[in-house]
Structure 1
Amino acid sequence: MTIVDRSAPPVRTHKDNRKWVGKSIRRVEDPKFLRGGGGYIADLVTPDMLHVAVLRSPHAHARIAAIDTVAALSAPGVHAVITGARAAALCDPLPDFGPDPANHTWRCLAVDTVRYVGEGVAVVVADDRYLAEDAAALIEVEYEPLDPVVDPERALAEGAPLVHEPLGSNCAYDRTFDFGDVETDFAEADVVIRDRLRWHRSGGQPLETVGAIADFDHATGELTVHTNSLSFTSYLFMVAGTLKIPTNKLDIIPVPAGGSFGSKLFATKPSVIAGMCSREVGRPVVYLEDRVDNMSNCDHHGSDRVYEVELAMMRDGTMRSLKIDTIDDYGAYIQFGVGHHGNALAQVTGPYRIGSVRYRVRAVLTNKNQQGAYRGFGSEVNNWMLEQMVDKAARELGLDPVQVRRQNFVRTFPHFIPTGNVYDSGNYDAVLDQALKLSDYDRWRAEQRRLLEEEGRYIGIGLITAQERSVFSATEFWFWFDEPGAPVTSMPESVTLKVDATGGITATLYSCAFWGNSPETMVAQMVAEEFDVDPYSVSIVYRGSRDGLPATGPGGSRTTVMLAGAVEGATAKIKAKARQAAAHLLEIDPDDLEWVDGGYQVKGVPERRKSLGDIAIALHLFKHSFPEEIESGLEDSKVFDHPYTTMPSADRKDLGVFYPFMGHACHVPVIEVDIETGGVRFLSYAAVHDCGTLVNPRSLAGHIVGGTAQGIGTALYEEFAYDDDGQLQATSFLDYLIPSAMEVPELKIGHAETPSPYTPHGIKGGGEGGRMMAPAALNVAVNDALAPLGVRVTELPMTPDRLLTAIRNARESR
């Protein structure tokens, strides 16, 4: 057995007298967006560009016997029609981390078999989108229908139709991990709580769909792509490989993402389609998904799981061990492998001292659009599962749901959970206390009893306590395998800072442009903190992949922490040079200088100083006033690597530290269930979050509100439902129900701060807050409301039909 190094990195010291970090400011991005100058994909379209439309399969599973494109090619304004077979000649398979690439190939268009309704079989390139859509309708495809399989458990049964026949099975991955002495902990437990839970798929619904503008230059062989995908910049060489062009001939330039919530993470297919088409026709080409494309063919549906869970408990409420057996329906392909469960394993025991875990995951292929990323990336499902078990245990053992959580809290940090991941810091009691106070918990408990007794109203209180892991390490992608194909360990983020001759500061970012976390505001605040300038004076620009330094981009609530490290590192280099220059200008030893109020001054003699502007203009214009070793200009970069990672053990009994900066939250919704209609109405909602040191409380509150709204949708409304024939039942917002402002309650938000000892400023990620907790909290609340009827709901979303069925079944069983 390999011994895992559990030595932590040096503890950082954090200054207390911050001026900008921790202050609520309006986003520096707001003016350009409010004025309509944000530069979204549609804003970049020019009259000379051609447009792409995709012909989608109407079948969930079928062989493509023939395609006739003659009529489409002769339609007005059409420049090209590319079928799956032609696309396979032009492009290699799309990059993915799924099983057995030789027998599981994912392409931008289906070649000989379609595997879900909506899968692209051909594209048309025309003068405008209308002409392209009209021509696509003229393509005649002869299909030979095959039996689909939609239910994940049926997909595992013997004799089930195979989604990928060469694989010989619909199970793409099956492994059981044991962490700690599970058998002993279960044998010594007083009671075992068991449950079966079902989480149906939903997905992020961006206001702007995924798109790309591609321009291939046949003279140079260079391809330029503007895209709103939140791409892994460091791994875009794989996109070049798909397009069969050298990486240094591909420049992917980020543009603002008009909403993502994970659904644009590494969304490479639109860029590949646009790039392929531009190369084929020799003109700039735009492909922007329509809503049906995005809902049926986006490759980013959320988790779709069946759980069989056992929680070993002592009668006094002490948690001992956890057994999890989960089947996850990945759809027709599996681009990210089982990374969703890495997110779960990072915080599998929640905020509790659970000593051992058995975790079995079976990744199942079905005839549905594949999973991708959605806010939480699988860890929000783990939170829901665990909190349902804790709540059921409290009810079965007759324990107070607040007390059973409190008595099991982790209180000593750093804390290593059984998987090997670490919780860096926290104060879960303080978060719980604040939430109880903010929610007026005791008053609502009294009201709950009174309203049931006096008015027959069913009120539920849904207290949960849960984690939000942040800042993933690359080891998460390969610890699943004993012999990983690519055991990468780098997931950096980079920044270049330039101080011009007048002291103005420009920060260059190398991952994605604007997205949910407002990177321009975050970087501006952190630059302002380091240089004592106004954040609105900082200019933020972006570079494409070809000119960029290594960068991973967003995902896993990582970017604020990583950009803070990059800014801190680049600042240190610039200040070191500025100190040398100031020392020369002031004719004093550098050690006798100190940084104060935006410049260097002589210690004890504040009137002898040089501002950053003074130093900058001297370095830009007066080279021969300095010694030879001091070069002109004031600019530097920092590639910031993950601050705290350790390697997994060879036997995978310890997965190492791979998601160490652990946020925490307590949500307390109060709801009323109408037992005649199945409707759920909010009476109150309180949420307290600990994301380490706050950078911009205003922005974080936006994350919490938005994430909670999405969590409400997951819990009550949203579902990508497929019928038995594999037909997607929700291809518009008439059928896929998103909560509006009328369905989302006003939130009372509180914050606690336990700074991370390992990150700049003590920051932890907070971008997935809200959705990490709301589904669990609402499920607990509904079960609390319906407990007098003997109802326990174990399936999300809790639609009125499902609630009424559960109520009716409970009444009939009495």
Structure 2
Amino acid sequence: MNAKYTPDVTIPPSTQREGVRSEPRWIGKSMKRVEDPRLLTGKGKYIDDIVLPNMAHAALLRSPYAHARIKSIDTSRAKALPGVIAVVTGREMAEKTGPTVTFSSPPVVQHAMAVDKVRHVGETVAAVVAEDRYIAEDALELIDVEFEELPIVTDPLLQAQARGDAVLHPERGESNVAMDRTFTFGPVDDDFARADVVVRRKLRWNRSEAQPIETSGAIADYDEGTGKLTVHCNTSMYNYVGWLCAASLGIPATHLNLVPVIAGGSFGSKLFLHKIIVLTASLSRIAGRPVKFIEDRLDHMTAADVHGCDRVYDAELALKRDGTMLALRYTVVDDYGAYLQYGYGTHGNTFAQIVGPYRINSVQGRVIAVLSNKAQQGAYRGFGSEVSNFVIERLTDAAARELGLDVVEIRRRNFIRPEEFPYLIPTGNLYDSGNYEKVLAEALRMFDMEGWRAKQAAARRQGRHIGIGLVTCQERSTFSATEFWSLNPPDQAGFTLTSSPEAVSMRIDPTGKVFVKLNSPFWGNSPETMATQIVAEALTVEPSDISIGYADTDSGFNGTGPGGSRYTVMLAGAVVTAVKTLRGKLFKLAGHMMECAEGDLELRNGKIGVKGVPAMEKSVAEVAIASHYFRLSFPNTPEFASGLETTAVYDHPLTTMPAADRSHLGIYYPIMGHMAHATAVEVDSATGKVSILDYVAVHDCGTVVNPMTLDGHVRGGTAQGIGTALYEHYRYDESGQLLTASLADYHMPTAHEMPADIRIGHVETPSPFTEFGIKGGGEGGRMATPAVLAQAVEDALSPFDVRIDEVPLTPIRLRELVRSAGKT
């Protein structure tokens, strides 16, 4: 047997300071969310709730063409409409405002509004600022634009053939292929040569999108006296890359303050709303007063830059006759749309967990990234690795079918074993910990596979088609910034940043109350609840004694924000750092007050006490008031300076650089969650309707902070995965028109399409690299649902010899598959 291939990556030692506590008081408890009172009573401040004095409103004129030159724009009639304050074209805005941010290299230039040419339906051509939105919308109809239509290519497989005027960005090359590179990790050719069986599938993952209830928006306020812009926006990474928006605006970073608000849903779609920030800030600067713009649903669907992955795979899995997996090889064509704001990061996500939970020895991926006359991709829950989960699991199912193995057994045979962790996969990324057999066993116990097989057999005798599915998938978490550029061409890597930290500010007031300021906004990850539980655990105080707030960019510091299932892990790290500093000063103060050595002290139940002496202690409040108001009670040295406060920054718990030749990508997404999803469905072969009869999701997210909120994450992700698998599809025609540009045509699942009960289970294998052993879990549900539903539907339709190679599995598509079988 050949030796396992191991990439040339050195695993750094763990920097973990807080391991798993044997008897945690708050971590692991289903505590009610701290955010709920104001949200449930309607007191939360969302972007549309903000009203500034003298505020104007913007509306945007969108292109009706997918590809065209802008020959002329006449705005005179719109400007003459009473109530209109300003009408601005893309060229006029570009005179003072530069392109928006792109992480692609070489860059694909994108402006907040189109300059000279539009590249997809819905791209902004002009903006109107008026006294209210109604007037602004009316004025749009008075703008006269002359377009010269250009050739349109929407098929991703034809973009390499695009030439001349069909090329979207001719300054980058002669076709619409943005990148065509092959990444090889390990002895792929040798592994395929020694294989007994190679299974091959052509798979299609169509684009969908998160569809948050609240669309994206911003309110910008330009102060002519100071030249400063203040922008309220429902985004996330404002403290991380907000300075890049200032660069687009041509102003110092000190002159742009981004203020977070509650996000009414994001799921990745509001990760970094640079275009809206730059647009509203520019309009406010032109209008000389506050300007508000919030997308309507059509704006959001056609031009929000947040469409999900749109991929075509030709994939092969090499195996031995006994089902042992050897190597994975594939070519993927990924349709990024008209621009490339995040570069090739979705494939970084893919490579982070490309082997799934299996001991696959080598991987080769040819990535062909193409541009097209569609809205561009953004971040959507999973950010590309949910697609690779689908691909790996479909190949695994195909291998089981080819080899005559049970779908559960083939997975079990190939699992990475508990004793093999930490485990380096061929791409260089690391899996920190896991017990995949235990997760599988729990899923099988909860689901009752044998019982469902009996029900399936009985249903088939009645002419009904019940199918059963079980998949095992990964959820990478806690990204490192190297992912943003590691797939760029080595000679044009771009901005090769290596930091993606998180920070908190923490202070204890004279009464012993703890104030924590976060450098990210409220998203669905319940940051106030997470912070409260972790601070309460680390400082041993009561949750009721903790208050959570948010920093803007004027006061914020080193916060990357939520995204990529990272926030709870990183927040815990920052909190532990802050508490360590505060604990040191509390011990110093208390030690002086009780005339004992600092090393003899411990935190216990909100008090600083002498170890082994229960009666000898001071409460945090007693020490805090002494620190704030009784300076002369302590030595006249700097370490006893008044007050108890600190700002703490936590960098990535485990990351390394990629190889210069990209023979590996380094460790960059190593805090690895795992899941097993099992489902039973019934498919009506006459109509193509899929009904979900049972659904079990067992997750390993390391140490669970709050089971109740984590269950909500899993259920919500599963609901979105059901939408991706069965219903949701952004469908474009050959002329580049979006045919599903409303919720009447873009079909989302409702409560009626959900399983009656998504049953959740947890297995905990704590990470040895993160504080308290926490792993990320925010994307988990969606990471497995399309794969398990595809397997279950294929199983249900096995009498028709149907193969499921594409999602969504709409009724029309399933009827086509059944008809093509010629059996009904």
Instruction: Return the offset for 1:397.
Output: 1.0
In the alignment, the residues of structure 2 paired with residue 187 and residue 2 of structure 1 have an alpha-carbon distance, to the nearest angstrom, of 20
In the alignment, the residues of structure 1 paired with residue 239 and residue 792 of structure 2 have an alpha-carbon distance, to the nearest angstrom, of 41
SS in 2 for 1:175: strand
In the alignment, the residues of structure 1 paired with residue 127 and residue 256 of structure 2 have an alpha-carbon distance, to the nearest angstrom, of 22
SS in 2 for 1:606: coil
Give the 3 Å change call, closer, same or farther, for CA 10–212 of structure 1 in structure 2.
closer
In the alignment, the residues of structure 2 paired with residue 739 and residue 464 of structure 1 have an alpha-carbon distance, to the nearest angstrom, of 22
Q: Does 1:33 align with 2:53?
A: no
Q: Trace 1:164-563 onto structure 2 (pairs within 5 A).
A: 164-167=169-172, 168-411=174-417, 412-452=420-460, 454-480=461-487, 481-483=489-491, 484-511=493-520, 513-563=521-571
Q: Does 1:729 align with 2:739?
A: yes
In the alignment, the residues of structure 1 paired with residue 697 and residue 688 of structure 2 have an alpha-carbon distance, to the nearest angstrom, of 25
AA paired with 1:542?
A: Y
Of 154-163 and 267-276, deviating more is 154-163
In the alignment, the residues of structure 1 paired with residue 382 and residue 585 of structure 2 have an alpha-carbon distance, to the nearest angstrom, of 42
SS in 1 for 2:780: coil
Query: Is 1:667–1:688's contact at 8 Å kept on the other side of the alignment?
Result: yes
Could you say which residue in structure 1 is the equivalent of 2:161? Answer: 157
Q: Does 1:125 align with 2:129?
A: yes
Could you say which residue in structure 2 is the equivalent of 1:768? Answer: 779
1:379-418 CA-partner distances (Å, limit 9, x unpaired): 0000001100000110111101100000000012001100
Q: Trace 1:649-668 onto structure 2 (pairs within 5 A).
A: 649-668=659-678
Query: Is 2:219–2:233's contact at 8 Å kept on the other side of the alignment?
Result: yes
Q: Does 1:634 align with 2:644?
A: yes
In the alignment, the residues of structure 2 paired with residue 3 and residue 435 of structure 1 have an alpha-carbon distance, to the nearest angstrom, of 35
SS in 1 for 2:336: strand
Give the 3 Å change call, closer, same or farther, for CA 263–158 of structure 1 in structure 2.
closer
Could you say which residue in structure 2 is the equivalent of 1:702? Answer: 712
Q: Does 1:644 align with 2:648?
A: no
Query: Is 1:55–1:121's contact at 8 Å kept on the other side of the alignment?
Result: yes
In the alignment, the residues of structure 2 paired with residue 687 and residue 4 of structure 1 have an alpha-carbon distance, to the nearest angstrom, of 33
SS in 2 for 1:178: strand
Query: Is 1:2–1:650's contact at 8 Å kept on the other side of the alignment?
Result: no
Of 90-99 and 476-485, deviating more is 476-485
Q: Percent same amino acid among aligned pairs? A: 54
In the alignment, the residues of structure 2 paired with residue 234 and residue 266 of structure 1 have an alpha-carbon distance, to the nearest angstrom, of 9
Query: Is 2:14–2:768's contact at 8 Å kept on the other side of the alignment?
Result: no
AA paired with 2:452?
A: W
Q: Which runs of 5+ in 2 are unaligned?
A: 1-5
Q: Trace 1:71-86 onto structure 2 (pairs within 5 A).
A: 71-86=77-92
Q: Does 1:608 align with 2:628?
A: no
Query: Is 2:58–2:136's contact at 8 Å kept on the other side of the alignment?
Result: yes
In the alignment, the residues of structure 1 paired with residue 355 and residue 486 of structure 2 have an alpha-carbon distance, to the nearest angstrom, of 19
Instruction: Return the offset for 1:157.
Output: 2.5
Instruction: Return the offset for 1:594.
Output: 2.0
In the alignment, the residues of structure 1 paired with residue 677 and residue 49 of structure 2 have an alpha-carbon distance, to the nearest angstrom, of 39
1:536-580 CA-partner distances (Å, limit 9, x unpaired): 331111111122111111111000000000001000000100100
Could you say which residue in structure 2 is the equivalent of 1:618? Answer: 626
Instruction: Return the offset for 1:76.
Output: 1.6
Query: Is 2:7–2:425's contact at 8 Å kept on the other side of the alignment?
Result: no
In the alignment, the residues of structure 1 paired with residue 692 and residue 494 of structure 2 have an alpha-carbon distance, to the nearest angstrom, of 49
In the alignment, the residues of structure 1 paired with residue 328 and residue 613 of structure 2 have an alpha-carbon distance, to the nearest angstrom, of 63
AA paired with 1:758?
A: F
Query: Is 1:99–1:173's contact at 8 Å kept on the other side of the alignment?
Result: no
Instruction: Return the offset for 1:232.
Output: 4.8
SS in 2 for 1:463: strand
SS in 1 for 2:278: helix
Q: Which runs of 5+ in 1 are unaligned?
A: none
1:260-307 CA-partner distances (Å, limit 9, x unpaired): 010101111111111011111111111111111111110010000000
Aligned residues between the structures:
809
SS in 2 for 1:410: coil
Give the 3 Å change call, closer, same or farther, for CA 670–533 of structure 1 in structure 2.
same
Instruction: Return the offset for 1:11.
Output: 5.6
Q: Does 1:756 align with 2:763?
A: no
Query: Is 1:707–1:768's contact at 8 Å kept on the other side of the alignment?
Result: yes
| Regions of 4+ moved over 4 Å | none
Q: Does 1:807 align with 2:818?
A: yes
Query: Is 2:208–2:728's contact at 8 Å kept on the other side of the alignment?
Result: yes
In the alignment, the residues of structure 1 paired with residue 15 and residue 486 of structure 2 have an alpha-carbon distance, to the nearest angstrom, of 25
Could you say which residue in structure 1 is the equivalent of 2:699? Answer: 689
In the alignment, the residues of structure 2 paired with residue 768 and residue 581 of structure 1 have an alpha-carbon distance, to the nearest angstrom, of 43
AA paired with 1:4?
A: V
Give the 3 Å change call, closer, same or farther, for CA 11–621 of structure 1 in structure 2.
closer
Task: Identify the match of residue 142 of structure 2 among 138, 141, 147.
Answer: 138
Could you say which residue in structure 1 is the equivalent of 2:792? Answer: 781
Instruction: Return the offset for 1:625.
Output: 1.0
Instruction: Return the offset for 1:3.
Output: 5.2
Query: Is 2:162–2:175's contact at 8 Å kept on the other side of the alignment?
Result: no
AA paired with 2:717?
A: G
Query: Is 1:99–1:172's contact at 8 Å kept on the other side of the alignment?
Result: no
1:702-747 CA-partner distances (Å, limit 9, x unpaired): 0010000000000000011111110001121101111000001121
In the alignment, the residues of structure 1 paired with residue 440 and residue 610 of structure 2 have an alpha-carbon distance, to the nearest angstrom, of 48
In the alignment, the residues of structure 1 paired with residue 14 and residue 613 of structure 2 have an alpha-carbon distance, to the nearest angstrom, of 37
Give the 3 Å change call, closer, same or farther, for CA 669–563 of structure 1 in structure 2.
same
Give the CA RMSD over aligned residues: 1.4
AA paired with 1:524?
A: T
In the alignment, the residues of structure 1 paired with residue 64 and residue 743 of structure 2 have an alpha-carbon distance, to the nearest angstrom, of 19
Instruction: Return the offset for 1:434.
Output: 0.6
In the alignment, the residues of structure 2 paired with residue 591 and residue 713 of structure 1 have an alpha-carbon distance, to the nearest angstrom, of 56
In the alignment, the residues of structure 2 paired with residue 240 and residue 10 of structure 1 have an alpha-carbon distance, to the nearest angstrom, of 35
Query: Is 2:162–2:176's contact at 8 Å kept on the other side of the alignment?
Result: no
Normalised TM-score (structure 1)? 0.98
Query: Is 2:238–2:553's contact at 8 Å kept on the other side of the alignment?
Result: no
AA paired with 1:490?
A: S
In the alignment, the residues of structure 2 paired with residue 690 and residue 735 of structure 1 have an alpha-carbon distance, to the nearest angstrom, of 36
In the alignment, the residues of structure 2 paired with residue 754 and residue 359 of structure 1 have an alpha-carbon distance, to the nearest angstrom, of 30
Normalised TM-score (structure 2)? 0.97
Give the 3 Å change call, closer, same or farther, for CA 734–717 of structure 1 in structure 2.
same
In the alignment, the residues of structure 1 paired with residue 257 and residue 636 of structure 2 have an alpha-carbon distance, to the nearest angstrom, of 37
In the alignment, the residues of structure 2 paired with residue 417 and residue 9 of structure 1 have an alpha-carbon distance, to the nearest angstrom, of 18
Instruction: Return the offset for 1:220.
Output: 0.6
In the alignment, the residues of structure 2 paired with residue 296 and residue 9 of structure 1 have an alpha-carbon distance, to the nearest angstrom, of 45
Could you say which residue in structure 2 is the equivalent of 1:791? Answer: 802
Task: Identify the match of residue 683 of structure 2 among 670, 673, 684.
Answer: 673
Query: Is 1:99–1:334's contact at 8 Å kept on the other side of the alignment?
Result: no
In the alignment, the residues of structure 2 paired with residue 68 and residue 11 of structure 1 have an alpha-carbon distance, to the nearest angstrom, of 62
Of 583-592 and 69-78, deviating more is 583-592
In the alignment, the residues of structure 1 paired with residue 789 and residue 658 of structure 2 have an alpha-carbon distance, to the nearest angstrom, of 36
